[in-house]
């Protein structure tokens, strides 16, 4: 059984600071990892995906992956009130055949 663990929060971060969201997973065979942003009442929106150990940057977002520690994180620099949402971590164990396994999400609040 694949498991994805996230702190449910809320995680409160001042505007302009760095928000750090963390995710651990149980399946060592996991190969690809995704971060989705979900606003209240809306559907998830893909933010980042990462396949290799290390960092991947896209604008204000950086995804970090450490397969040895079974840990993936998302950093949001210069946090804005519009970043306030629930962030879902998801993983695909390879082939994509059986969909993604999602964590329950971390609720992020950016305080103006």
Partner 1 sequence: DGGITQSPKYLFRKEGQNVTLSCEQNLNHDAMYWYRQDPGQGLRLIYYSQIVNDFQKGDIAEGYSVSREKKESFPLTVTSAQKNPTAFYLCASSHQGYGQPQHFGDGTRLSIL
**By the rule CB under 8 A, 61 interacts with partner 1:** no
Q: Tell me, rounded to whole angstroms, the distance of Cα 104 from its chain centroid.
A: 11
**By the rule CB under 8 A, 68 interacts with partner 1:** no
Question: Which of 44, 72, 85, 87: binder of partner 1 (CB under 8 A)?
Answer: 44
The DSSP code for 85 is E
Residues 6+ apart with CB under 8 A from 41: none
From the CB of 3, what's the least distance to partner 1, in Å? 10
Stretch that binds partner 1, among 10-18, 61-69, 76-84, 99-107 (CB under 8 A): 99-107
Question: Which of 15, 45, 57, 78: binder of partner 1 (CB under 8 A)?
Answer: 45
**By the rule CB under 8 A, 37 interacts with partner 1:** no
Q: Calculate the alpha carbon distances from 4 to 28, 51, 54, 58 in Å.
A: 12, 16, 19, 23
């Amino acid at each position: 059984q694949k498991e994805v663990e996230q702190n449910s929060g809320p995680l409160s971060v001042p505007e302009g600071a760095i928000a750090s969201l963390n995710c651990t997973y149980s399946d060592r065979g996991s190969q690809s990892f995704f971060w989705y942003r979900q606003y209240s009442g809306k559907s998830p929106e893909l933010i980042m995906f990462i396949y290799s150990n290390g960092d991947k940057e896209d604008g204000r977002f950086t995804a970090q992956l450490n397969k040895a520690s079974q840990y993936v994180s998302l950093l949001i620099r210069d946090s804005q009130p519009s970043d306030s949402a629930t962030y879902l971590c998801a993983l695909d164990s390879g082939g994509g055949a059986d969909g993604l396994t999602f964590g329950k999400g971390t609720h992020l609040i950016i305080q103006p």
